[in-house]
Amino acid sequence: MDKMTFILIHGSWHSSWNWHKVVPMLENLGHTAIAMDLPGMGRDKTPIQEVKMADTVQQICQRIDQIEGKVILVGHSKNGIMISQVAEYRPEKIEKLIYIAAYLIPNGKTQAEYSAQDKQGLLKPYVKRFPETGSHTLQPEIYREGLYHDCPEYITELAKMLLSHEPVESSIKPLQLTDERYGSVPRYYIECTEDRAVTSFIQRKMYTETPCKKVYQMATSHSPFFSRPEELVEIFLEIGKLSEAVC
């Protein structure tokens, strides 16, 4: 199997630790897996009030530019918006896009517009906002039921120590995408059918409005990288092997 390079982008409140099971699985198979901490998240100490979507996108682009050859760019949850915008700027460097229960938003729209349509998700009543820093957090009492209901108990305990503030600005920033650039990169979607954070309703609406080459389904919570990492890696590898000519 040809060596593949995966760049893994975490979702809201999380960081590169999301991928601590997935990265070694990919590496043990001879591939490269790079899990990023986005600005203001995880080990990146950019003050949260200074984080802007444009800078986050640029940081991902810079990481891609450091890699020889093409990458497979993976985005989870809210930060599907990031991989979409990056693909607009680096279509020649991205072999495929993989959205995991992620916001797949068309040109000119925002993540917040689609989140508002997801009436059955469990998280919204537990989001605590901090207008003075332009950020919000998720209250711990919803972690397990909302994010990790099928995951090992220790994941919830880790989350209590590791989840952080999330900048709001990117959720209300309209995406700027074109068919010529973003639209030239093959898209794949992994729907998490038991997701209580980004429900199947809104996932299906998004990948129906913005069609993908193929949609996979996993009977998991919002966090398949914790609950079913082996199955998730198998899907990654299958997508990586697919020929654009066959898709």
The pLDDT tens digits along the chain (247 residues) read 589 999 999 999 999 999 999 999 999 999 999 999 999 999 999 999 999 999 999 999 999 999 999 999 999 999 999 999 999 999 999 999 999 999 999 999 999 999 999 999 999 999 999 999 999 999 999 999 999 999 999 999 999 999 999 999 999 999 999 999 999 999 999 999 999 999 999 999 999 999 999 999 999 999 999 999 999 999 999 999 987 543 3
- Please report the sign of the dihedral spanned by the C-alpha atoms of residue 187, residue 193, residue 198, residue 202: positive
Predicted structure pTM score:
0.97
Q: How far apart are CA 92 and CA 42, in angstroms?
A: 29
Q: How far apart are CA 48 and CA 71, in angstroms?
A: 28
Count CB neighbours of 31 within 10 A. Answer: 20
Residues 176 and 107: beta-carbon distance below 8 Å = yes
